[in-house]
Amino acid sequence: SAVISQKPSRDICQRGTSLTIQCQVDSQVTMMFWYRQQPGQSLTLIATANQGSEATYESGFVIDKFPISRPNLTFSTLTVSNMSPEDSSIYLCSVIGITVVGGYTFGSGTRLTVV
Amino acid sequence: ELKVEQNPLFLSMQEGKNYTIYCNYSTTSDRLYWYRQDPGKSLESLFVLLSNGAVKQEGRLMASLDTKARLSTLHITAAVHDLSATYFCAVDMYANTGNQFYFGTGTSLTVIP
């Protein structure tokens, strides 16, 4: 399976500021996914990031709040903008695993606390 | 929109006991995944089920898939404390925008010594 490095692993941020989360994959992948996991909840897809095109956002998520970059086939960033305490969550990037049987591989996650 | 429901949401069981977690989904798919998440950690892939009738086993965990019933089960045999975690099922479905991955609500398992 692909190996994904995600950073930072955690951060505590002031409200009104922005945080950029980085996701590096050790192989080239077409699609990268960004998820949010609010405390005690399941995972919700924020957007799908394809290299060379704008990210596709899910209902309830907008580019102004969660801008995404995908400059090449191994890297993506997610920015959480103008943060409020409601943005406190774990953010995870994911790729479709490069294995015989497929499946999705997840980064280690970024635990964000907004104060 | 695809809905994926798990039950129970919370499960407390004693060591040595058996139990089954259920995952129901609302539309046709033949790819289902089970993940484990420890507190504050990312998701660890447990099983990938790719066809009707698929059964996979690893240690004390066994997963199965019935695509006709749109049901997957994760069976725990003789539970041990180390299995305490949150377990998610997820269904992979192709949409107009590409593959989409829908997670279940999660089952928080606590195994009591």
Confidence band of A102 (pLDDT split at 50, 70, 90): low
Interface of B with A in 41-100 (CB under 8 A): 41-43, 45, 48, 50, 88, 90, 92, 97-100
Per-residue model confidence (pLDDT) at position A79: 98
Q: CB B48 to CB A101 under 8 A? A: yes
3-state secondary structure A92-109: EEEEECCCCCCCEEECCC
Domain range for A106: 4-114
Q: In chain A, how many domains are there?
A: 1
pLDDT value, residue B99: 67
CATH number of the domain where residue A14 is located: 2.60.40.10
CATH of residue B80:
2.60.40.10
Mind listing the pLDDT tens digit for each residue in A6-39?
999 999 999 999 999 999 999 898 889 999 999 8
How far off is chain A from B92, nearest CA to CA, in Å?
9
For residue B61, the enclosing domain spans: 4-108
Residue A101: predicted pLDDT: 52
> Is the backbone of residue B106 left (phi > 0), alpha (psi -120 to 50) or beta?
left
Total domain count, chain B: 1
What is the rounded CA–CA span in Å between residue B34 and residue B50?
12
| Residue A105 contacts residue A14 (beta carbons within 8 Å) | no
Give the residue carrying structure tokens 């199965």.
B64
Residue B47 lies in a domain: yes
Asked if residue B113 is part of any domain, the answer here is no
- Shortest CA distance from B88: residue in chain A: A42
pLDDT of residue B51: 84
Dihedral angle sign, alpha carbons of residues B79, A38, B44, B50: positive
